Amino acid sequence: MSLKHAILGFLSFKPFSGYDLKKAFDNSVRHFWPANQSQIYRTLSQMTDDGLVEKEVIEREERLDMKIYSITKAGRSELHDWLSTPLPEKDTREPFLIQVFFGGKLSDKELLNLLHHEKKIAEENLITFDAVHQASTAQPSSINDPRAFFLSMLTLEYGIKSNRALLEWLNSAIKRIETKNYSLKEIK
């Protein structure tokens, strides 16, 4: 997925400034597609040049001019084409699993350090996902498209379930390494 398509997706709902797009990312898709402000502005500039978005400049006396971006007909077509086209198989490289695979070269203490670090990240992710869920469901009366809201919550569900599964696996691995239980009975 490209940042361009995520931006087009947001702009298909309503026009946004670059600043407001960053807030939209942070409040909705950050758990699986983070974007920083400079990436957003660079991409908006390129998308304007490509005719996928239009920019309206709103002059302000005491602050910098505000730029509001709207999706064009070509942008809607690009978004639809991308959304309706199956993606190629994703790259499944996972550097952490390479560390585990060759972890026999480490002491148990070193290996457990790596596993505990990953466990902390998974736990922090779950806290973040909970915050996103709380913010998303705080005002159910403001949801004007239940189907779109449901689909956005499916992405959050994926993040929660995958991190819970990772956490379960990490806890099991940590316990087995700590107790030196190298049995393969757990692997199924």
Q: What is the DSSP letter of 11?
A: H
Q: Which residues pair with 58 in a beta bridge?
A: 66
Does pTM surpass 0.85? no
Grouped pLDDT means (10 residues each) for the chain, 188 residues: 90 94 87 89 96 94 90 97 92 90 95 98 92 80 80 91 96 95 80
The pLDDT of residue 160: 93
Cα separation, 88 vs 46, in Å, equals 24
The pLDDT of residue 10: 94
Residue 100: closest CA among 33, 172, 163: 172
Give me the residue spans of the domains in the chain: 3-83, 95-178
| Contacts made by residues 121-128, CB under 8 angstroms, sequence distance 24+ | 122/163, 122/166, 122/167, 122/170, 123/167, 125/31, 125/159, 125/163, 126/160, 126/163, 126/164, 126/167, 128/30, 128/31
Look up residue 186 and give its amino acid: E
CATH 3.40.1400.10 fits 3-83, yes or no: no
The pLDDT of residue 170: 97
